[in-house]
Chains A and B, each alone.
Chain A
Amino acid sequence: MINAVWFFALAAMLTAYTVLDGYDLGVGSLSLWIAKNDDERRMALNSIGPVWNGNEVWLIAAGGMMVVSFPRVYAVGFSGFYLALMLVLWLLILRGVSIEFRSQSRNPLWRALWDGGFWVGSLLLALLLGVALGNVVRGLPIGADGYFQGTFGLLLNPYALLTGILTVVVLAWHGTNYLRVKTEGALFERAVRWSRTLWWIAAGMVIVVTIATFIVLSGGPRTFHVYPAAWIIPFFVLAGLVWGYLSRGADRGTPAFRSSLLSSLP
């Protein structure tokens, strides 16, 4: 029973991390294209500036909680996916440092360097998050001792890459909705337009990944048969998408943000 409580607490923390740092990563993934000049880049960064650190903490807190609540899962999981986790760490460093260092100098080369770092770090982090999610759904070969029995290359299988792309798109959509709430001017206009476009791509990817999931897990995810309550997850996704469509008007920034948050929750 207590284990169930820990599990839900852990799931809640990871969910919080995804929807909060999700928009940071979304903003970052689009940053080079959606923000066209120094002022707009600064505006985009300032929108996440005060909160990105706190948002990232949910990931740390989840990891820390795992140490005490599920030490064997933590141990087996983290050492089993060694290279993947190290890559995530290095990307977190790149993303964090890029945000904090950019404003320290007015030199255009300096700023361009950290703009690039911010973009690459955010994009790859979003992708890897999705890859991890896809591998959890798909299942991975685990040995009798609990350790992962594959290579790093196995982690980048086609299904996981698809979920990776889905995550990039959904988080980017989430990011544009965040910008709709937090910015103004030309950046705001672009965020509204991109939000609409990304909605279509996100909806399309949801369909693609759903089909892929049924192919990869022959017969569909067993979870739905065992726990009918799990149907709430795709419901969230659909509800979020529908609400997102209804919020495509320029002035509907806040409801749009809430809708993409809803979709990211699952």
Chain B
Amino acid sequence: MNEAVFAHRIQFAFTVMFHYLFPILTMGLGFFIAVFSTLHLITEDIRYADAARFWAKIFAVNFALGVVTGIPLEFEFGTNWSRFSSFGGGVFGQALPLEGVYAFFLESGFLGMFLAGEKRVGRTLHWISGLGVAIGSLLSGYFIVATNAWMQHPVGYVMDHSGAIHLESFWAVLLNPYAAWQYAHTINGALLTAAFVIGGVGAFYLLSERHMGFGILSVKTTIVAGVILSLTQLFPTGDLNGASVVQYQPTKLAAMEGLFETSQGAPLAIIGMPDTQNGKLIDPIYVPEFLSFLAYGNFRATVEGLNSYSRDLWPPVELTYYCYHIMVGLGTIFIAQMLIGLFLLWRRKLYSSRWFLWMLMLTIPFPYIANEAGWTVSEVGRQPWLVYGLMKTPAGTSANVAAGETIFTTMGFAGIYAVLGVLFLFLVARIIHKGPQEDATAHG
């Protein structure tokens, strides 16, 4: 691959993957903070207010980092992917800036109000601002997913005789059929991550025998929410997101499943190592005919393998395959974890099962890995297309920006983000160490 193209891809991939670590928690935690805030309003139980206030502190640090790492991405559409922006900007640009508008104007406005505290803004306004933050972040998530969905399945445009595209329907872009389940699956992933973070921190407190009340509330929230969320992550959101891939991106499906040969009654590979050179999986374990069933609901259906397509249309098989299997593998582990937790909760042993609490605490990073792996499948699996069926990736870069310039700025970002990452962990650790504070003056 052309060195410059590779540099542009690495820069965008690195900056977007680092940035995304933060919106995952912003979208997920915002929801839970709104829930805690609402429960406090309804039940008057002060523990919910303490929980909302504690998580809001972590939310604030997380949100700030999401903002500063997110701005470069909007610029990068222009700086590193200028031909893509020039070609498609008039169409996908309908959705893209709305992410900024909702994320920032709505979220940051309400967040300022929420962090000011109940005693400064009053009960009702405080609760509304909590809702505003959650809704703002969920809304902004939709628009960025819609932008990506357009790249996966371009709609709402018309092409003229010179090959340029123009917007035909704003609503077609916004209501792209690909976007709906992609969004649901993404948001579910964010909520699931937040549940794990809440539970992991709660487990930490229970294991350290501090803030036991808060720990119990947190772990219970995680199990109750986590059972539902880990299951819905698989079905319906995962399954139906996959259905879009089956329908619109057959090469991505073949790559992520490691299916080289077109097969009737195609088997599902649970594990195995792709050997792209020889077109097979090494040491696979198969469930016979199951891929056909998952993809088409019929055990005898035919699934197209990679060999049905010319080599230059194959996405990078290994990366797509492994990231997909990492994501699904972790998702399965999450379901198992949550079901075990539910069982322990039912037997009233949850808060004293130290081995389970250890597991909850140590698996905090796993949902992050699953989320990023899933997005890697989505983006790498789309290759060689930048806009599926319309524009190949090397054709979308900024041809006037040399590889050397991009490598320089990527190193700059890497350095800055390494420092920011360390600072983030340091600040969050401090907040957790301090623990949830009972703010006696909050209800004065």
Of the candidate stretches A37-45, A56-64, A155-163, A215-223, the one touching chain B is: A56-64
How distant is the Cα of A266 from the Cα of B69 in the complex, in angstroms?
Answer: 30
How distant is the Cα of A69 from the Cα of B108 in the complex, in angstroms?
Answer: 26
Interface residues of B in 82-96 (CB under 8 A from A): 82-83, 85-90, 92-94, 96
- Across-interface contacts of B89 in A (CB, < 8 A): 67-68, 71, 74-75
How distant is the Cα of A60 from the Cα of B75 in the complex, in angstroms?
Answer: 9
How distant is the Cα of A90 from the Cα of B79 in the complex, in angstroms?
Answer: 14
CB distance from B385 to the nearest CB of A (A): 19
Q: A53-B108, A63-B75, A71-B93 are in contact. Are A79 and B398 (CB under 8 A)?
A: yes
CB distance from B24 to the nearest CB of A (A): 19
- Let me know if A57 and B105 touch, CB within 8 A: yes
CB distance from B436 to the nearest CB of A (A): 17
Taking a contact as CB atoms closer than 8 A, the residue among B72, B79, B85, B405 that contacts A67 in the complex is B85
- Let me know if A90 and B412 touch, CB within 8 A: yes
Q: A67-B89, A90-B412, A92-B68 are in contact. Are A82 and B108 (CB under 8 A)?
A: no
| Interface residues in B, total, Cβ within 8 A | 49
Q: Say yes or no for B430: interface residue by CB 8 A criterion.
A: yes
How distant is the Cα of A89 from the Cα of B101 in the complex, in angstroms?
Answer: 18
Taking a contact as CB atoms closer than 8 A, the residue among A56, A82, A89 that contacts B405 in the complex is A82
Q: Say yes or no for A230: interface residue by CB 8 A criterion.
A: no
- Let me know if B96 and A97 touch, CB within 8 A: no
- Across-interface contacts of B75 in A (CB, < 8 A): 63, 78, 85-86, 89
Q: Say yes or no for A246: interface residue by CB 8 A criterion.
A: no
- Across-interface contacts of A80 in B (CB, < 8 A): 400
Q: Say yes or no for B418: interface residue by CB 8 A criterion.
A: no
Of the candidate stretches A18-26, A99-107, A204-212, A251-259, the one touching chain B is: A99-107
Q: Say yes or no for B67: interface residue by CB 8 A criterion.
A: yes
How distant is the Cα of A50 from the Cα of B89 in the complex, in angstroms?
Answer: 32
- Let me know if A79 and B90 touch, CB within 8 A: no
- Let me know if B416 and A93 touch, CB within 8 A: yes
How distant is the Cα of A71 from the Cα of B96 in the complex, in angstroms?
Answer: 12
Of all chain A residues, the one with the shortest Cβ separation from B95 is A68
Taking a contact as CB atoms closer than 8 A, the residue among B68, B79, B104 that contacts A79 in the complex is B79
- Let me know if A97 and B398 touch, CB within 8 A: no
Q: Say yes or no for A147: interface residue by CB 8 A criterion.
A: yes
Taking a contact as CB atoms closer than 8 A, the residue among A56, A61, A78 that contacts B82 in the complex is A78
- Which of A's residues lie within 8 Å of B, judged by CB? 49-51, 53-54, 56-57, 60-61, 63-65, 67-69, 71-72, 74-80, 82-83, 85-86, 89-90, 92-93, 96-97, 100-101, 104-105, 145, 147
16 chain-A/chain-B pairs, Cβ below 8 angstroms: A57-B104, A57-B108, A60-B104, A64-B99, A65-B97, A67-B78, A67-B85, A71-B87, A74-B77, A74-B82, A76-B86, A89-B72, A93-B72, A96-B68, A100-B61, A101-B423
